[in-house]
Chains A and B, each alone.
Chain A
Amino acid sequence: MPTKTFPGNYKNLEYISHFIIKHAERASFSRDEVYAIQTAVDEACSNIIDHAYKGENRGKIKIQVNEISNGLKIIIQDDGEPFNPDEIPTPDITSPLEIRKERGLGMFFMRKLMDKVIFDFSQSEGNTLTLVKYKGSFS
């Protein structure tokens, strides 16, 4: 199971994407699906830096990529503040720009693009986010 650990800063988002793209392509996802997986992981890691670590270079992001039957399971772990997805509002993407609140867009993208998005927290493991994408599920 390919696993890599990255320092939690924005500059590493590009290297995280390279790592994810390589394994998604190896798993024979379509180019649109690879882009979707890249987006979900990028948004997840940006959220970790912004909300779990509350800033850059305050902890690491560990990413494990597992090929599963007809898909890919990606497990992302951090040691930041416990993350409660229920506290993140769903953005109203139809409200007028002047009053529109943009928080929650990253989470919204993750849920739209992946087949499973599961958050978990434990004292020993910290935050664990599991993302699953199946081939042929992209609409």
Chain B
Amino acid sequence: MEIIITKHPSFDLIKIDGRIDSYTAPEIVQSFELLIHDGRYNFIVDLENVSYISSSGMLAFVNAKKSLIQIEQGAIIFAATPHRILSGFQMAGFDQLFDFCENASSAADLF
């Protein structure tokens, strides 16, 4: 898995490639922790090139969302989510917690 973070004035774009499972999810958890610690609260997560996500991968995003709820600011918007990845979020009921946009530029309009 590869994570590329690009900082923009009103949000950070987090582009993830590859598999998100119990092995790689901790890297996502750590990335959010560092960003939130640095005072970054608005995120677009581009999932276009994610081939697989497990429940532990989804929980990495859910826990980041919980952190944002605790500090009462910020948002996580998913962009370009492949349909099998979206189905996983829907099955777990996590699709209600996040916004999903067609691509990163339409997500950027929301910030």
Chain A residues in the interface with B (C-beta under 8 A): 10-11, 13-14, 17, 32, 35, 38-39, 42-43, 46, 49-50, 91, 93-94, 97-98, 102, 105-106, 108-109, 112
Contacts and interface: CB of A to CB of B under 8 A. Distances in A.
15 contacts: A10-B21, A10-B23, A13-B54, A14-B19, A14-B21, A42-B54, A46-B54, A46-B56, A49-B22, A97-B65, A97-B69, A105-B58, A109-B55, A109-B91, A109-B92
Contact of A112 (B65, B91, B97): B91
A42 B52 contact: yes
A30 B65 CA distance: 33
- Dominant secondary structure of chain B at its interface with chain A: helix
Interface residues of B, number: 20
Report the 9 A-B pairs with minimum CB-CB distance, sorted nearest first: A93-B93, A10-B23, A105-B55, A10-B22, A46-B22, A35-B84, A13-B21, A106-B55, A11-B23
Contacts of B7: none
Contacts of A50: 22
B74 interface: no
